[in-house]
C-alpha cells in the first residue's frame, strides 16, 4: 500500500500511475519496481505498508477453511490486483489498528479484517497474472483493444471492461487511446459504431431504427443526431445518396 505518494509502479510489464492512496496485491513470482515516487502533499509524510503472506499458508487456508474460500478468486490464481481508493483507505485504517505488543493471534485477526475488506471491493482491477502476462508490449495492447472494439462495438462497453481485458488500469487505457488513436475511448467507439451504421445504410434494407440497435444505440434520436454530426447527413439522407 502507498499513501500520499505520486509517481509510477511497474509490475511485470504493466505500468501503473500511483496517486493518493493505492493498494495492490502482488503475487510473489511477479517482479515489481517503484519509479519516481514523491510525496503528494509536502506537509503530510508519505506512508508505505507491506503485508507479506506465505504462499503455503494461503493455499492451506483456502483448501481447509470454508470462510476463506471466497478469497480464492483473489489469492488463488496468481493475479496482480489494484483495489479501489475507498478500499485502500479502509484497509489503511484497519492496518493502523495493529498493536505489535499484543499476541500474534490478535495481529492475525487484523489480517482477516483486511481480507474481509478486499473481498467487498466491486471496483478492483486485474492488472496481470504471474502465470501469464497476456499483453507484453504496448503494440500488443493496441492490437487487442482494436480487435475487442471491432468485435464488441454493439455491446455496452466501458473503459473498465477494456482495462480488465488487457490487464491494466483505466488511466493506462485512456492514455493508449489518446496517444495512439488521437482520440478518447468514447470518441473511438462512436466512430466505429457510426462507420458500421453507414456501411449498413449503404448495403442493406434494414430500417434505420434497426440499424441503430445493431450498432449499439438504444435511442434513435441520439443516433440520428450523432450520425448527422459525423457524416453531415441524416441516416435517411445518407442512404438515399449512397445506397447501392
Helix (H) or strand (E) holding 226: helix 220-231
Total count of domains within the chain? 3
pLDDT number for residue 132: 46
> Helix 104-118 to helix 85-95 angle, to the nearest 10 degrees?
170
* pLDDT the model gives residue 191: 95
Same domain, 14 and 108: yes
Task: Say yes or no: 7 and 78 in one domain.
Answer: yes
Same-domain check for residues 171 and 225? no
Residue 111: how many CB atoms within 10 A of its CB?
A: 14
Whole-model pTM over 0.75: no
The confidence score (pLDDT) of residue 206 equals 94
108 and 67 together in one domain: yes
CATH number at 214 reads: 1.10.10.60
Of 237, 238, 236, 240, nearest in space to 209 by CA: 236
For residues 8 and 115, state if they share a domain: yes
Same domain, 198 and 219: yes
Residues 96 and 164 both lie in one domain: no
Give the residue carrying C-alpha cell 475511448: 185
Residues 69 and 150 in one domain: no
Residue-range definition of the domain harbouring residue 232: 192-242
Report pLDDT for 134: 53
Residue 19 shares a structural domain with residue 124: yes
pLDDT of residue 17: 81
Pair (38, 120) in one structural domain: yes
7 Rama class: left (phi>0) / alpha (psi -120 to 50) / beta: left
| DSSP 8-state secondary structure symbol assigned to residue 97 | T
Residues 181 and 197 in one domain: no
Residue 70's contacts (CB-CB under 8 Å, 6 or more residues apart) are: 119
Show the cell assigned to 101: 505488543
For the chain of 244 residues, list the mean pLDDT of each consecutive stretch of 10.
84 77 82 79 82 82 81 77 91 86 84 90 79 63 89 90 80 88 93 95 94 95 96 95 82
Q: Indicate whether 118 and 168 sit together in one domain.
A: no
DSSP 8-state code for residue 29 = T
Amino acid at each position: 500500500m502507498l499513501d500520499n505518494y505520486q509517481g509510477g509502479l511497474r509490475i511485470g510489464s504493466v505500468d501503473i500511475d500511483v496517486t493518493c492512496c493505492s493498494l495492490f496485491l502482488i503475487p510473489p513470482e511477479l517482479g515489481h519496481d517503484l519509479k519516481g515516487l514523491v510525496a503528494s502533499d509536502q506537509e503530510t509524510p508519505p506512508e508505505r505498508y507491506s503485508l507479506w503472506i506465505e504462499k503455503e499458508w494461503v493455499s492451506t487456508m483456502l483448501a481447509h477453511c470454508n470462510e476463506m474460500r471466497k478469497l480464492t478468486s483473489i489469492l488463488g490464481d496468481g493475479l496482480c490486483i489494484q483495489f479501489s481508493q475507498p478500499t485502500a483507505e479502509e484497509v489503511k485504517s484497519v492496518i493502523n489498528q495493529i498493536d505489535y505488543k499484543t499476541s500474534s493471534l490478535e495481529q492475525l485477526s487484523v489480517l482477516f479484517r483486511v481480507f474481509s475488506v478486499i473481498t467487498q471491493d466491486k471496483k478492483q482491477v486485474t492488472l496481470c497474472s504471474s502465470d501469464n502476462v497476456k499483453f507484453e508490449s504496448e503494440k500488443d495492447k493496441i492490437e487487442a483493444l482494436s480487435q475487442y472494439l471491432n468485435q464488441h462495438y454493439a455491446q455496452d462497453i466501458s473503459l473498465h471492461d477494456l482495462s480488465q481485458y488487457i490487464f491494466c488500469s483505466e488511466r493506462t487505457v485512456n492514455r493508449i487511446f489518446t496517444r495512439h488513436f488521437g482520440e478518447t475511448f468514447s470518441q473511438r467507439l462512436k466512430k466505429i459504431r457510426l462507420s458500421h451504421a453507414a456501411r449498413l445504410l449503404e448495403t442493406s434494407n434494414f430500417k434505420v431504427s434497426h440499424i441503430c440497435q445493431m450498432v449499439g444505440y438504444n435511442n434513435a434520436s441520439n443516433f440520428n443526431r450523432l450520425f448527422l454530426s459525423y457524416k453531415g447527413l441524416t441516416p435517411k439522407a445518407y442512404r438515399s445518396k449512397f445506397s447501392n
